[in-house]
Amino acid sequence: MEFPILSALVLTPALAAAVVMLIPERRREVIRPLGVVLSLLPLPLAGVLFAEFERGEAGFQFVERAVWIDRLGADWHLGVDGISLLLVVLTTVLVPVALGASMRVDHRVKLFVAMNLLLEAGLIGVFLSLDLFLFFVFFEVILIPMAFIIGIWGSENRIYAAVKFFLYTAFGSALMLAGIIALAFIHRDQTGELGFSYLGMLGLDLGPDAQRWLFAAFALAFAIKVPVFPFHTWLPDAHVEAPTAGSVLLAGVLLKLGTYGLLRFNLPLFPDAALDFVPLMAVLAVVGVIYGAAVAIVQPDLKKLVAYSSVSHLGFIVLGTFALTSQSLQGGVVQMINHGLTTGALFLLVGMIYERRHTKLIADFGGLASSMPVFAGLFLFIAFASIGLPGLNGFVGEFLILMGSYPTLPVYTIASAVGVILAAVYLLWAYERVFTGKITNPANKGLSDLSIGETLVFVPLVALIILLGVYPKAALDVIQPSTDAVLSRIEAVTEYRAPDPGGPGFVLSGGGG
């Protein structure tokens, strides 16, 4: 038997969490570095996975399957394809980064490290699950450590934020669970036995009504997670209260559960309904893009600003997902990775300045570029990656989404391009107020610039931001076969035909001469 690399990826951080819990709390000087080292263990596994992954292959690879709960027909069923591979890699990069940036956590350190490792296990599991029951278990497992991270290590209003986060997402999951159970029953009706296998579900014959209800149940759960406007109000609260590591993982990976779910489940499982829902999802996506950006402009709190920028950026991904073209789907997936890197980095930066000044209010700063030039330079670099400067990662995803979405959703796409202008406004204006001018507030004088350790945390992020900007093909070669397969699946079971830009079948209004 081959080495079960996917199981190893899931179980390593879980075991690491258990190991950490065995160490006495007072040995915190051991726990922190040990936590980082343990969180690094899945990274080489993910590296091997990325290297060994067969390019040009659309289906699931490294598949493992074992009977888990026989009576329910639920299996321990894992597999990876071009959509999930990079999200797993992203998770294994961001967790060590988040822990590495949390050296100043000094209260219940053991639990903190364990919770982060448990979160990592859940996140990797959720992206690898090919069994809907298993998927749901991981989906819920993630909630608990994240709610604890916000609720225990957050700032003043942490309990409110944690409860809000929990209830909001739990409400969504309840509906999704109902949907999953319904699917299992339909599975029994059509095949004779209960089953939760994703691949099995793809073979079911769902009527239009069932598709619509099930789509709605899944979509609501994922829309809350993304978050899609108007289900986004838990996000700014959660971010403002969460400790840095929580914010990094929340924005960097957790939000992608929503967009991942829409792409993995809503489109292939309920293709007819998905087509019906395109206008609604597109409207909400575009509103999210513009509304999130507009609200970000006027936020007085840096962390809230970044949180609302996420609403805007994730709106682009939802738009790309429901534009249903080869380019837009590729753009959506690559943008999930990009947003994880840039927004994760932005939250790290905000956390570092908070540790020095104990405030995140833009008005409290000014002129920091003079006292912290390295910090200012890094902030500006990440800001431009987030703005979508070509040559850096954010551009590739945004550009693919815009170019790819226009053929099917021209009006929405043009409207969402306004978000590109607004992104420059909120980030550069924030930069101007925080970093430029003369230092007027004495509290900002003599701040220490980033230490070597703090700078090192950014090295992997900056490297990936440049790599994905200059040579995105490394990622796109992995992604494209799998996203194209989603499209083929929709085309196979519905009347929908993805446009072929420039092809003979594609007639442009006013053109055709």
Binders of another protein in range 209-228 (CB under 8 A): 209-210, 217
Binders of another protein in range 225-244 (CB under 8 A): 230, 232-234
- Cβ contacts of residue 481 below 8 Å, gap of 6+? 55, 56, 57, 58, 82
Phi, psi torsion values for 90, nearest 5 degrees: -55, -45
Query: Would you count residue 56 as binding another protein (CB under 8 A)?
Result: no
| From 47, 59, 203, 410, residue interacting with another protein (rule: CB under 8 A) | 410
The two structure tokens encoding residue 326: 């080869």
Q: Which residues of 97-120 are buried (b: 16+ CB within 10 A; e: fewer)?
A: bbbbbbbebeeebbbbbbbbbbbb
Q: Find out whether 316 and 281 touch, Cβ atoms under 8 Å.
A: no
Between 106 and 432, name the residue whose CB sits nearer to another protein.
432
Beta bridge partners of 392: 390
Name the one range near another protein by CB under 8 A: 1-9, 101-109, 110-118, 366-374.
366-374
| From 164, 225, 256, 264, residue interacting with another protein (rule: CB under 8 A) | 164
- 282 to 321: interface string for another protein, x by CB under 8 A: ---------x--xx-xxx----------------------
Query: Virtual CA dihedral for 338, 281, 323, 285, nearest 10 degrees?
Result: -40
- 370 to 409: interface string for another protein, x by CB under 8 A: x-------------x----xxx---xx--xx-xxx-xx--
How far is the C-alpha of 179 from the C-alpha of 220, rounded, in Å? 11
Between 60 and 431, name the residue whose CB sits nearer to another protein.
431
How far is the C-alpha of 30 from the C-alpha of 42, rounded, in Å? 20
Query: Would you count residue 193 as binding another protein (CB under 8 A)?
Result: no
- 481 to 510: interface string for another protein, x by CB under 8 A: ------------------xxxxx--x-xxx
Binders of another protein in range 411-470 (CB under 8 A): 413-414, 417-418, 420-421, 424-425, 428-429, 431-432, 435-438, 470
Binders of another protein in range 78-137 (CB under 8 A): none
> First vs last Cα of the chain: how many Å apart?
61
Phi, psi torsion values for 325, nearest 5 degrees: -125, 165
| From 178, 283, 374, 466, residue interacting with another protein (rule: CB under 8 A) | 178
Smallest distance, Å, CB 285 to another protein?
16
Reduce the DSSP state of residue 192 to 3 states and report it.
coil
Q: Find out whether 427 and 293 touch, Cβ atoms under 8 Å.
A: no
Smallest distance, Å, CB 483 to another protein?
10
